[in-house]
Amino acid sequence: MMTKAVFSLITLIAAGLLSSASIAAPGAHGPGGEHLDAPASTNASGLARLPDGSVNVPKQAQRSMAIRTMMAREAEHPLTVELNGRIGIDPNAGGRVQAPYTGRIEPGPKGLPLAGQRVEKGQALVRIRPVGEAIDRANQQAQLAEIRANRTLAEQRVKRLASLEGTVPQKEIEAARAELASLTGRERAVSASVDGSEAITAPASGIVASANVLNGQIVDAREILFEIIEPSRLVVEATTTDASLAGRIATATLAGFPGVELSLLGGGRSLRDGALPVNFRATVKNTALAIGQPVTVVAKLNDMVKGIALPAEALVRNPANQFIVWIKSGAERFIAQPVEVKPLDARTIVVVKGLAADNRVVVSGASLINQIR
């Protein structure tokens, strides 16, 4: 049977444990001054998520996870917007090659170009031999035969008049020669449409972005054969419903592509699918972009917003799909804080609601803390 002394000792130990578990680390405050370091319901000594939603991360684990923090500082920042965009061909540095008429593809002097191959302006890419309906070709051949017969008669007439020079008027000789030249030109033109082929050349120097031809292929008029681009010079076409946005853009970047520099060309004034186009010239360095690739343009405006600037990697989502940042409230304790943010550029966000100026925010390793269960 338990003695009174033993029972009293157990009671004192239990009270001591409860007292030590209720000690909260000092530090974080919310945007309204409220304490964020509420007492944890358990005293975890290892890497674990506590019952109140906070996370305990020992010092050794913090070093292994490369956890870095910074003090929140509120300031004025340029307001930014995100625009959906698409990579396109710079019309001054690339081009599109189309078939001028229905015809059969034949290789050029250097063969058929492939996607990724470099070509020079004026280089013969392919040759197209005209094709048509059987009745059309028959009519052309009949016309060619008639022209050739008339040309033969004209040649004989010119020779006969030339032999009689001095006895016939000079104007008749000149008229006969003019008729012969006309028939010769008509014969050459019709013969080219029946039996000849035309060389299709590159409109610009660059890389073949797409090639849609094979030897012997029949193509229709206006069918796209090649697209040629200069990889270092492209165009980004973004869309917006705000007609005044183009006039308020100061600078712009591509989200996820730090090696691309954007310069504003201007905004359209005609709706296309319910939106206005905003065009940027993209100068690409050490980055590969594809024509038609969807991108996100982060445009920095002349308007200002007040908030706390943080690296984009500091922002994560909780199980409810809310944006949160992790605040360090003690030596080994981290608290999730819901926030409202706006993008500042491709690598920086601005917290406009949810943080106070004295919070120490995790700016490196937040995604690892967020995975602790």
Is residue 43 within 8 A of residue 215, CB to CB? The reply is: no
User: CA 148, CA 145: separation in Å to the nearest integer?
Assistant: 5
Q: What is the pLDDT of residues 238-275, one digit of tens each?
A: 999 999 999 999 999 998 898 899 999 999 989 988 89
Residue 142 banded pLDDT, cuts 50, 70, 90:
confident
What is the pLDDT confidence band of residue 167, given thresholds at 50, 70 and 90? confident
Please state, rounded to an integer, the average pLDDT across all residues of the chain. 84
- pLDDT at residue 32 is higher than 70: no
What domains does the chain contain, in order, with CATH numbers? 24-79+305-370 (2.40.420.20), 80-92+229-303 (2.40.30.170), 95-227 (2.40.50.100)
pLDDT at 107: 93
DSSP-based three-state secondary structure for 278: strand
